[in-house]
Structure 1
Amino acid sequence: MRILGIDPGLQTTGWGVIDAQGPQLAYVASGTIRSTGRGIEVATGDLPARIRLLFDGAREVMQAYRPDCAAMEIVFVNVNPQSTLLLGQARGALLAALTSGDLPVSEYTALQMKKAVVGHGLAKKEQIQAMVQRLLTLPGLPGKDAADALGLAIMHAHASVSFSAMSAKTALQRRQHAQFKGGRTY
């Protein structure tokens, strides 16, 4: 199973692709989709153009790596409501890109991902990077946003086994309930 992990962000969206065969995980690729900086000509105030760039970037990653499913971070309310709204719009564009390619998308909280990858929910970015490097036997540390995305893919690789077992034993449909405490699957 090839899994695409997405760590959404309006300025920088991390993505990571892994192959999972049972408990064996293999790194495929990772990177970021940026809507500002590093030579990108989209103005910071041009929200529609930035949203389009995220949508197109996610579609490009999907076309290049052909994942079977995707895992995306659920974002909660931040201190700044305006930032939360903007991030929600970025998430919406990324979800639209993924689902327009008929890709099943599961969502997990940052706390769930950190617990699954590092072992505790208050893990720092550097700890996530180190564990992702170790779990995927990477030669170096992945970038912070890419590490979060890879962490989401790793978590989904392990959680999807439980989801499959649960769906085989219960009459409930995946779209009708949260199969994992706080997580959503569409």
Structure 2
Amino acid sequence: MRVLGIDPGLTRCGVGVVDVAPTRTAVLVHVSVITTPIELPLEERLLRIAAGVEAVLDEHRPDSVAVERVFAQHNVRTVMGTAQVSGIALLAAARRSLPVGLHTPSEVKAAITGYGQADKKQVGTMVAKVLRLDEIPRPADAADALALAICHAWRGPLGGVVGASVTPAAAAGSAGAGSLTPAQQAWRAAEQGAKRRPAAPRLVR
């Protein structure tokens, strides 16, 4: 599965493309940050971001798109810009009939690091480890976009089988524990614990 992750932002919009195999092994395909000067009119800034997103879609042809879900912030101007860029990303994906996944920052952090309150450095470090990169992608918007793409692929079905969603822990069952990320190890531990847990008693009427 090839996934485009988009970390929406009006000044910096991170875009990252990864290929993820059925074993959950992820490979970097592309990463960049679309920037717009704050002195430009809003409509021109949005036009530049739209052109950048569509160029990546057309060049790399992902199977699906992952976008960070907009959430409330104290800074209304920031959240408005994020929402506007998210709309551009959703529109660009819809024009190409691509499925879209919306993920909150906490969901992405939990998927990548195993901890929903991880900071940006921890997320960037795990992105570099998962993709086997020599250094953390910079700026943080780039790492966040890749994290979104990885999170989306790990949470959805792989291998082209509809409805065949497999957790990273299950997919890595044939691999050694040392090859799993902390998040994957946590998933496998939780999955094994659930299997050992006795079934709840059934009420008979």
Q: Report the TM-score, using the length of structure 2 for normalisation.
A: 0.74
- Cross-structure match for 1:156: 152
Aligned counterpart in structure 2 of residue 103 of structure 1, from 94, 98, 101: 98
Cα RMSD after superposing both structures: 1.6
1:30 aligned to 2:61?
no
Pair 1:77 & 2:72 matched: yes
Q: What are the residue-to-residue correspondences of 1:4-153 with 2, within 5 Å?
A: 4-22=4-22, 23-36=24-37, 44-143=39-138, 144-153=140-149
- Return the alpha-carbon distance in structure 1 between the equivalents of residues 117 and 82 of structure 2: 21
Give the CA deviation at 1:103: 1.6
Aligned residues of 2:36 and 2:48 also touching (Cα < 8 A): yes
SS at match of 2:30: strand
More strand by share: 1
Contact 1:132 1:150 in 2 (8 A): yes
Larger-Rg structure: 2
**Paired residues, number:** 160
What secondary structure does 2:157 align onto? helix
The whole-number CA distance in structure 1 between the counterparts of 2:8 and 2:67 is 7
Distance 1:134 1:121 in 2: 18
Structure 1: runs of 5+ lacking an equivalent:
37-42, 167-186
Look up the SS of the partner of 1:164 in the other structure: coil
Task: Summarize deviations over 1:27-70 as a string: whole Å, max 9, x none.
Answer: 1111111112xxxxxx5250000011111110001111111111
Structure 2 unpaired stretches of 5+: 166-205
CA change 1:21–1:86 in 2 (3 A) is same
- Cα offset for 1:165? 3.6
CA distance in 2, matches of 1:45, 1:30: 24
Q: Sequence identity of aligned pairs in percent? A: 37
Task: Describe the superposition over 1:61-111 as per-residue Cα deviations: whole angstroms up to 9, x where unpaired.
Answer: 111111111111001011022322222112111211222122211110000
Question: Deviating runs (4+, > 2 A) in structure 1?
Answer: 161-166
Q: Does the aligned pair in 1 maintain the 2:109–2:117 contact within 8 Å? A: yes
- 8 Å CA contact 2:67–2:89 kept in 1: the answer is no
Query: Take 1:6 and 1:16, find their aligned partners in 2: how far apart are those partners?
Result: 7
